[in-house]
């Protein structure tokens, strides 16, 4: 089949990452990508795969650019149109229907809308999409169980929802002692010092304040550790983060490393990976860490508990005391003889539940269902 993917943009994000993996690992179909805006990180990565990409540069969503999109879809003659992200679902599916396409599949990655962190117009558009879900798409892919529950609450068409969890290439994400030693060597830290970390952009939804308070509690108990903060805006230019670190006297226990692209090296380098968010859908950083044999301490948001299972530690969100207790338990266990058994367990859990081949197979089944499914006129 020829699959056209219409996505809002190609920046560094979860939906873009899934789209990239589909184009890389699915050899059964022809994939073409249309970005409503312009190129970014995944533009060059998709180009390296030999994927055809069209950038519409619809920054203002002009009528002329919209009808250019309609003409492009009509010219490409796809079997299925797969749309991504809120604006991609809205603009892409309307353009596809005007181009005569009825085999449309939406992809929804958000889990829960936090008032204050999401624009009002985005919330209104999502409510509109919930109504249009009965008319425009044949099927709707959700990437997490929490996202499925949220869509049902928002009154999306229940019968069209299909859960397709993200998948991971375990030949790339795997335990590597050399990477672990190299990462620690770059940081110039002792081999015996427990190294914990969080890979997350700076955003209030990621709740770094929760982590800082938890680390302060652990420090007060004279437990030795180093915590690295990795992600966009996690650097010395971030005045809020610097102020929090100084206020809680964490200067000797926290390092800001900024954005890193070599995720396998980072995840191998850490002893413990932490997620302390207020809200999530299906956070990639957890299975990426676990695939590398790195146990995780996570807040019980989105699908985090489903991913981790009994292989790590799960605590309530917005509770630094329970987060501190879980991190402390993990740190104490790091140098014990059963630690390697836990590391093996987390790797096996991802291998069993979230291998890339399982994701590709489910996407293919969903597109096949959409292609053969007849909509009432």
Q: Are residues 304 and 261 in the same domain?
A: yes
Is 172 part of a structural domain of the chain? no
Quote the pLDDT of residue 13: 82
Q: List the pLDDT tens digit at each of the 377 positions of the chain.
A: 999 999 999 988 889 999 999 999 999 999 999 999 988 889 999 999 999 999 998 876 578 899 999 999 999 999 999 999 999 999 999 999 999 999 999 999 876 655 455 678 888 899 999 999 999 999 999 998 988 999 999 999 999 999 999 999 999 999 999 999 999 999 998 888 999 999 998 988 999 999 999 999 999 999 999 999 999 899 999 999 999 999 999 999 999 999 888 999 999 999 999 999 998 888 999 999 999 999 999 999 989 999 999 999 999 999 999 999 999 999 999 988 899 999 999 999 999 999 999 999 999 999 999 998 765 55
Q: Are residues 88 and 233 in the same domain?
A: no
Token output for 62:
């002009």
The conformational region for residue 180 under phi > 0 = left, psi -120 to 50 = alpha, else beta, is alpha
CATH of the domain at 75: 3.40.50.2000
How many C-beta neighbours within 10 Å does residue 243 have? 10
Q: Are residues 152 and 299 in the same domain?
A: no
- Residues 144 and 374 sit within 8 Å (Cβ to Cβ): no
Closest to 330 measured CA to CA, from 245, 200, 227:
227
Is 80 part of a structural domain of the chain? yes
Q: Are residues 125 and 222 in the same domain?
A: no
Quote the pLDDT of residue 118: 64
Q: Are residues 87 and 215 in the same domain?
A: no
**Alpha-carbon distance 215 to 326, whole Å?**
11
Q: Are residues 105 and 230 in the same domain?
A: no
Quote the pLDDT of residue 40: 82
Q: What angle do CA 190, 230, 148 make, to 5 degrees?
A: 130
Q: Are residues 26 and 157 in the same domain?
A: yes
Q: Are residues 284 and 338 in the same domain?
A: yes
Q: Are residues 235 and 326 in the same domain?
A: yes
Q: Domain count for the chain, please give it.
A: 2
Is 92 part of a structural domain of the chain? yes
Q: Are residues 348 and 367 in the same domain?
A: no
**Alpha-carbon distance 326 to 4, whole Å?**
45
Using DSSP's 3-state secondary structure scheme, residue 30 falls into strand
Is 11 part of a structural domain of the chain? yes
Quote the pLDDT of residue 117: 56
Q: Are residues 17 and 58 in the same domain?
A: yes
Is 377 part of a structural domain of the chain? no
**Alpha-carbon distance 126 to 140, whole Å?**
14
Enclosing domain of residue 41 = 2-167+356-372
Residues 6+ apart with CB under 8 A from 290: 273, 296, 307, 308, 311, 312, 346, 347, 349, 350
Token output for 260:
């890193």
Global pTM reads 0.86
Burial class for 114, CB neighbours closer than 10 Å (0-12, 13-18, 19+): exposed
């Amino acid at each position: 089949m020829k699959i056209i993917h219409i996505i809002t943009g190609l920046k560094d994000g979860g939906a873009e990452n899934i789209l990239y993996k589909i184009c890389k690992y699915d050899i059964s179909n022809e994939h073409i990508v249309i970005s409503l805006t312009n190129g970014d990180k995944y533009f060059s990565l998709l180009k390296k795969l030999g994927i055809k990409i069209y950038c519409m540069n619809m920054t203002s969503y002009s009528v002329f650019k919209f009808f250019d999109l309609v003409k492009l879809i009509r010219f490409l003659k796809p079997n299925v149109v797969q749309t991504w992200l809120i604006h991609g679902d809205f603009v892409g599916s309307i353009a596809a229907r005007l181009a005569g396409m009825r085999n449309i599949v939406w992809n929804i990655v958000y889990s829960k809308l936090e008032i204050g962190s999401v624009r009002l117009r985005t919330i209104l558009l999502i409510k509109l999409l919930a109504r249009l879900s009965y008319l425009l798409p044949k099927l709707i892919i959700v990437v997490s169980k929490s996202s499925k529950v949220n869509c049902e609450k928002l009154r999306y068409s229940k019968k069209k929802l299909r859960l397709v969890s993200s998948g991971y290439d375990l030949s790339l994400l795997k335990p590597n002692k050399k990477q672990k030693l190299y990462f620690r060597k770059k940081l110039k830290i002792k081999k015996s010092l427990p190294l914990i970390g969080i890979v997350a952009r700076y955003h209030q939804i990621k709740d770094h304040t929760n982590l800082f308070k938890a680390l302060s509690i652990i420090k007060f108990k004279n437990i030795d550790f180093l915590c690295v903060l990795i992600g966009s805006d996690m650097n010395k230019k971030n005045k809020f983060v610097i102020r929090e670190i100084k206020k809680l006297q964490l200067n000797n226990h926290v390092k800001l490393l900024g954005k890193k692209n070599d995720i396998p090296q980072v995840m191998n380098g850490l002893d413990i990976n932490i997620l302390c968010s207020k809200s999530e859908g299906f956070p990639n950083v957890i299975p990426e860490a676990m695939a590398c044999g790195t146990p995780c301490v996570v807040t019980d948001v989105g699908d985090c508990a489903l991913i981790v299972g009994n292989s790590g530690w799960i605590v309530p969100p917005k509770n630094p005391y329970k987060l501190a207790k879980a991190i402390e338990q993990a740190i104490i266990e790091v140098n014990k003889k059963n630690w390697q058994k836990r590391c093996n367990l987390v790797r096996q859990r991802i291998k069993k539940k979230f291998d890339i081949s399982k994701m590709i197979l489910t996407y293919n089944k969903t597109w096949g269902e959409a292609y053969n499914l007849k909509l009432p006129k």
